[in-house]
Amino acid sequence: MKSLPNNDPFASLNLPNLPPGPPEKGDPGSPQRLWKMGRVTLQRETAHRGGKTVIVIKDFATHLPISVIETIAKRVRSACGCGGTVRDKRIEIQGDQPAKIRAVLEAEGFEVKGVK
């Protein structure tokens, strides 16, 4: 079968009274977030950690799946250049860098409360 340059079966259709379709993925008007992120709390902890400081990000919205929280944890770890983990829908980031953590979370769409 010979390939035509414009093989679109709908190219000749002209229906003027139809509403516009959904925006394309690349359009600036398209929604960027799949989830409404909500509010999180930052907490500085040193107990039971050998005197080391850890920033805990907690109180994630209940509708956020663990996969989204793990993705956010990865972004925070890479932005801070440190280690961390996800435990029981809480992110534990090693070190005392609340300003960097707050900036990453706000860029992701969270409202951040807690440690300044």
Cα(66)–Cα(85) distance, integer angstroms: 12
- Residue 40 · residue 64 · CB < 8 Å: no
Q: What is the DSSP secondary-structure string of 26-56?
A: TSTTS---SS---EEEEEEE-TTTTT--EEE
Q: Answer for the pair 95, 82: CB distance below 8 angstroms, yes or no.
A: yes
- To the nearest whole percent, how much of the chain has pLDDT over 70? 84
- Asked if residue 25 belongs to a domain, the reply is no
Burial 51-83 (b: 16+ CB within 10 A, else e): eeebbbbebbeeebeeebbeebbeebbebbebe
pLDDT per residue as tens digits for the range 11-57: 777 778 878 777 766 555 444 556 678 899 999 999 888 889 999 99
Rounded to two decimals, the pTM is 0.68
Overall number of domains in the chain: 1
Domain assignment present for residue 101? The answer is yes
* Residue 30 placed within a domain: no
Residue 12 lies inside a defined structural domain of this protein: no
Q: Is residue 19 assigned to a domain?
A: no
DSSP SS3 for 108 = helix
